[in-house]
Amino acid sequence: MPEIGEVARLVHYLKKHVAGKVISSVKTQDDTIVYGKAGTSAAAFEQAMKGKKILDAGQQGKYFWMTMASPPHPVMHLGMTGWIDLSTVPTGSYKPKKEGEQWPPRFWKFILQLDDKEKTEVAFTDARRLGRIRLVDAPADKLRQTTPLKENGPDPVVDKEIVTVGWFSEKLKKKKVPIKAFLLNQANISGVGNWVADEVLYQAKTHPEQYCNTFSNSQIKTLHDSLISVCSIACETLADQDKFPKGWLMLHRWSKGKKGQNVLPNGEKITFLTVGGRTSAIVPSVQKKTGPVAADVSANGEAKAVNGTGSSESKKRRKTEDVEDSEDSEDADEVENSKAKSKRPSKVSKTNTKSTPKKETIVTESPRRSSRRSKA
């Protein structure tokens, strides 16, 4: 799944190659999920975009948008396999764009043709149809106070002035959940997915199962510094893995199951456990428990003794990486609705600034390692 760094990459390309240009024509493929579950339709999107000037692009975690000369503005989420492709330059393919390569790309949902001399085309693609394309009818400066952005937490890079140590500490101390689950919840912090969360915890030498409200002030500061550092590097490098620090866990976690390869360059062993339904990569020699985790809390809520690096993972809880990220792809506004679905049937409502639309629960599939690694 594209996370904060991958989305920053796309926003970079939109700002560099798309902003300031007018959409001369629009083509759409009708999709009742990608458009429909976001409260719009391919026809409405086409009508709203044709002839409009794109002024800018922005990001909040895994959400990104194009700022138009006038509302509505397209606000998008990549889901598990979504991406933005440009006809003129590669935006993230693992290999350089070849002359004569297929265009339009497979699984496209919309194609915007711009009025520049290159006749640049912008395509949103999504093979698994877990992405979302919606129209938000709000002033540009109010987008982040409007659904779906308002339901999601601050972005640790864009909103550094909000995500302070004090803010982070207050959030953690109020939560009685594993730290990994806290980081993946988009209502807390936007943009952190599975690999970013694991990297943050590894760099902070923190066990993913330890409860949020058990950390000392110094541990919270270390966690905060790691969160800001990892997310900033992911965005500054535009998620180009060749530019990541060589000692990052992320560069070596994908060898799971390959004999003799689950180790870091320094020889530390990488193991895997399931936390909150997601596979977590962990280095036990570094990430030691210093407080209670789920298995260390008795039925009456009292903490049991902590035994160093031990994991509470059991055979029954061990799952393959196929379930990794299955819930972290759900955004705060859609997850909130899942609690109410059993009580009433869900409906699709249009997004506007006057009322909050009813939301849909996304049933996600397992992610695969992103192969979009070309340099910007």
Decide if 3 is catalytic.
yes
Cα gap 23→40, rounded to integer Å: 19
Decide if 74 is catalytic.
no
Confidence of residue 347 (pLDDT cuts 50, 70, 90): very low
Model pLDDT, residue 357 = 44
Instruction: Count CB neighbours of 25 within 10 A.
Output: 15
Residue 258 has pLDDT above 50, yes or no: yes
Residue 155: Cβ-neighbour burial (10 angstroms; 0-12, 13-18, 19+): buried
List beta partners, residue 85.
Answer: 123
Q: Between vectors from CA 226 to CA 224 and to CA 227, what angle results, nearest 5°?
A: 65
Same domain, 184 and 133: no
What CATH number does residue 172 fall under?
A: 1.10.8.50
pLDDT in tens, 283-310: 999 999 998 876 664 444 444 544 444 4
User: Catalytic: which of 3, 313, 324, 365?
Assistant: 3
**E strand or H helix at 123:** strand 121-125
User: Catalytic: which of 6, 37, 52, 62?
Assistant: 62
pLDDT in tens, 71-124: 999 999 999 999 999 999 999 855 556 666 789 999 999 999 999 999 999 999
Which residue, 73, 105, 139, sits at the end of a domain?
Answer: 139
Greater model confidence, 56 or 100: 56
User: Catalytic: which of 2, 74, 156, 357?
Assistant: 2
In the chain, the percentage of residues whose pLDDT exceeds 90 is: 69
Decide if 62 is catalytic.
yes
Mean model confidence pLDDT for the chain: 84
State which amino acid sits at residue 301.
G
What CATH number does residue 80 fall under?
A: 3.20.190.10
Same domain, 193 and 238: yes
Residue 355 has pLDDT above 70, yes or no: no
Cα gap 196→8, rounded to integer Å: 14
* pLDDT (mean) for 240-268: 84
Same domain, 37 and 74: yes
Residue 337 has pLDDT above 80, yes or no: no
State which amino acid sits at residue 28.
T
Do residues 17 and 89 lie in contact, with contact meaning Cβ atoms separated by under 8 Å? yes
Greater model confidence, 274 or 291: 274
Least confident of 2-6, 66-70, 232-236, 272-276: 272-276
Same domain, 117 and 200: no
Confidence of residue 180 (pLDDT cuts 50, 70, 90): very high
State which amino acid sits at residue 207.
H
Q: What is the pTM of this model?
A: 0.82
Q: Which domain holds residue 311?
A: 165-323
Helices (H), 134-271: 165-173, 179-184, 194-203, 217-236
Residue with tokens 């390309």: 13
